């Protein structure tokens, strides 16, 4: 009997400690109802400018221009639309609970010096720690602390390069000329493409068109900050109708795939290994032409060749 009483006391003590911990982490939290109101009433479509301020590092400024988003600081480049949408989603994030938190308690929730602060449409969002039990995160919107689903905030990052577009040709831009290591391609009257090889072989009209389209469609698997000087290597120049100066990518071939570096903004683009030929080699050699004339049955033994993805991602 005594052992049962001791076990019961231990269980009650554990329950009391758990309730005390929950009260400590969610003081004054409002009960969660079936309807969860958004943290603001602002329409995301009305936002024209966003500032992302990290705890350390460069501030990112994003601006809506002509139907597309561009980064204005720290570099003037195209912005990743999906990343911007994640920021705009903060305006409509569902509040799963509001906390009464004094200024002296902000550090308890990671809100005194938050990892990232987002400013837009007159609102300031300070992203704090994740809840230790629930899949939620503490977010201070103006003067109120909310509990928001952590999964909805995964794409809100402090680093500026996270908001750089993964497209090699910016959205809305018109590619008119390509300077590749082995050839030069140019869009001519009527929208067709023609090319000239720099060495042996030649560039067919179909080869020029398919290579240009590969660049227009290409998306990097990942965009990261370029650390130090890029490796020495050949350079690709993309001439756009909207720009006087071409975009320059330095080529680095690796075992795991292709890397294209843009030293000016300090970005590195990682692409699948299978994209290298489609992006960089439009030249047709005499040997290649002879191979294409071989019987179809000799190519794949009756198995259709694999159609590679265009990398839109």
Task: With cut-offs at 50, 70 and 90, classify the pLDDT of residue 67.
Answer: confident
The least confident of 27-36, 133-142, 163-172 is 27-36
Q: What pTM does this model have?
A: 0.76
Instruction: Determine, yes or no, domain membership for 27.
Output: no
Same domain, 227 and 291: yes
The least confident of 58-72, 96-110, 220-234, 298-312 is 298-312
Same domain, 157 and 236: no
CB atoms within 10 A of CB 114: 22
Same domain, 50 and 151: yes
Same domain, 270 and 205: yes
pLDDT of residue 260: 94
Same domain, 185 and 225: yes
Same domain, 128 and 181: no
Q: Determine the Cα–Cα distance for residues 95 and 121; give it in Å rounded to an integer.
A: 18
Same domain, 137 and 69: yes
Under a CB-based contact definition with an 8 Å cutoff, are residues 78 and 70 in contact? yes
Quick one: how far is CA 251 from the chain centroid? 21
Instruction: Determine, yes or no, domain membership for 264.
Output: yes
pLDDT of residue 13: 43
Same domain, 156 and 238: no
Instruction: Determine, yes or no, domain membership for 106.
Output: yes
pLDDT of residue 313: 33
Q: Determine the Cα–Cα distance for residues 90 and 93; give it in Å rounded to an integer.
A: 5
Same domain, 198 and 277: yes
* Boundary residue ending a domain (106, 132, 163): 163
pLDDT digits (tens, 9 = 90+) for 158-175: 999 999 999 999 988 999
| Average pLDDT, rounded, for the chain | 82
pLDDT of residue 296: 39
pLDDT of residue 4: 47
Q: State phi, psi for 92 to the nearest 5 degrees.
A: -110, 10
Same domain, 266 and 148: no
β partners of residue 91: none
The residue assigned the tokens 């003590």 is: 13
CA atoms within 13 A on the CB side of 140: 23
Domain count, the chain: 2
Same domain, 65 and 157: yes
The answer on pLDDT for 60 being more than 90 is yes
Instruction: Determine, yes or no, domain membership for 8.
Output: no
Under a CB-based contact definition with an 8 Å cutoff, are residues 23 and 30 in contact? no
* Boundary residue ending a domain (128, 163, 198): 163
The dihedral built from the CA positions of residue 161, 166, 169 and 171, taken in this order, carries a sign that is negative
Instruction: Determine, yes or no, domain membership for 92.
Output: yes
pLDDT of residue 175: 95
Instruction: Determine, yes or no, domain membership for 90.
Output: yes
pLDDT of residue 99: 87
Same domain, 180 and 137: no
* Boundary residue ending a domain (163, 191, 215): 163
Domain residues for the domain of 100 are 37-163
Instruction: Determine, yes or no, domain membership for 53.
Output: yes
């Amino acid at each position: 009997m005594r052992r049962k009483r001791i076990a019961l006391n231990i269980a009650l003590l554990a329950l009391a400690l758990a309730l005390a911990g929950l009260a400590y982490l969610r003081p004054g939290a409002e009960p969660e109802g079936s309807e969860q109101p958004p943290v603001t009433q602002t329409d995301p479509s009305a936002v024209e400018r966003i500032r992302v301020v990290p705890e350390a590092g460069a501030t990112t400024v994003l601006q809506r221009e002509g139907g597309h988003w561009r980064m204005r600081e720290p570099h003037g480049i195209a912005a990743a639309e999906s990343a911007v949408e994640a920021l705009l989603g903060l305006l409509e994030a569902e509040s799963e609970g509001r906390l009464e938190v004094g200024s002296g308690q902000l550090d308890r929730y990671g809100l005194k010096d938050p990892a990232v602060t987002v400013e837009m449409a007159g609102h300031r969002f300070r992203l704090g720690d994740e809840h230790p039990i629930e899949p939620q995160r503490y977010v201070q919107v103006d003067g109120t602390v909310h509990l928001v689903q952590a999964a909805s905030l995964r794409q809100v990052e402090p680093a500026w390069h996270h908001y750089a577009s993964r497209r090699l040709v910016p959205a809305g831009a018109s590619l008119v000329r390509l300077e590749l290591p082995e050839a030069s391609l140019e869009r001519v009257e009527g929208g067709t493409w023609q090319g000239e090889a720099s060495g042996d072989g030649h560039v067919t009209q179909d080869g020029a068109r398919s290579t240009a389209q590969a660049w227009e469609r290409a998306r990097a698997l990942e965009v990261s900050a370029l650390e130090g000087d890029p490796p020495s290597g050949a350079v690709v120049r993309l001439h756009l109708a909207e720009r006087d100066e071409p975009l320059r990518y330095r080529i680095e071939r690796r075992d795991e795939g292709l890397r294209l570096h843009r030293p000016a903004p300090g970005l590195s683009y990682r692409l699948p290994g299978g994209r290298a030929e489609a992006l960089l080699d439009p030249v047709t050699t005499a040997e290649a032409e002879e191979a294409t004339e071989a019987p179809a049955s000799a190519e794949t033994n009756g198995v259709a060749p694999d159609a590679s993805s265009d990398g839109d991602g």
